[in-house]
Amino acid sequence: MKPAVSGLTSLYLVVLLSMLSSARAQNADINMLRSINLHRNKSLDGAMNDISGSVYPITVAVPVAELIAGYAGDNKQMKINGWQTIAGLGANTIIVVGLKYTVNRKCPYNTYPDLDPYKRENDPSFPSGHTSSAFCTATSLSICFPKWYVIAPGYAWALATGYSRMHLGEHYPTDVLVGAAIGAGSAWLAYKGNQWLQKKKRENHDSHD
């Protein structure tokens, strides 16, 4: 076989395998969502909707409470925690919104009409903004207050949020998984950035002593 022909054949096989792999992943994605959404206990719909609805109020309340406690009590660490949480949520929002409108994935019920969504939304599906915000908040709290009684309920709430998005038929499992990763990663990025900033401030302070 001539090299050019061999190269084209190899390229064709790679593209074909990639397409098959993507198709299998998409099938697994929708099959899992169908299993969760179509076989759900509808008596839990209200509770699941409340969990989803709690995300944005909580993500606002957490840094606001940290900042109020910090400035009212002149607590430097609480001030740092508040601004660090805001930075993480800001990074999370930028990444999520950018991906939503770059990928522009339709909500699952628009592609698969057999699904039974609790309600219909117009935003792109990938990634899940509710899940990313919940995991960003839970991770920020876990970093700022590394106690089991903060970490356990924080992540339990974030996991429940992710599940609620699938239960209600709003998101694919991959939307939720990627959202969780972005949220946790944004909080961690803000933490590392804050560590770097505090180190620079100490170095500058020491250099002027």
- Three-class secondary structure of residue 8 per DSSP: helix
Which CATH number is 33-207 given?
1.10.606.20
DSSP-derived secondary structure letter, 113: T
Chain CA centroid to CA 135, Å: 6
For the stretch 131-165, pLDDT in tens is: 999 999 999 999 999 999 999 999 999 999 999 99
CB count in 10 Å sphere of residue 165: 27
For the stretch 164-175, pLDDT in tens is: 999 999 999 999
Length of the chain: 209
The secondary structure of 59-112 as a DSSP string is HHHHHHHHHHHHHHTT-HHHHHHHHHHHHHHHHHHHHHHHHHHHH-PPPHHHH-
Contact 120, 168 (CB under 8 A): no
* pTM confidence score: 0.86
- Mean per-residue pLDDT for 82-107? 96
Contacts for 184 with CB less than 8 Å, ≥ 6 apart: 135, 136, 138, 139
CB count in 10 Å sphere of residue 192: 11
Supply the angle between the helices 148-167 and 3-38 in degrees, to the nearest 10. 100
CA angle centred on 44, ends 156 and 104, rounded to 5°: 70
pLDDT at residue 160, as a whole number: 98
What does the domain layout of the chain look like in residue ranges?
Answer: 33-207
Whether the per-residue pLDDT at 88 is higher than 50: the answer is yes
Whether the per-residue pLDDT at 179 is higher than 80: the answer is yes
Distance CA 172, CA 107 (A): 8
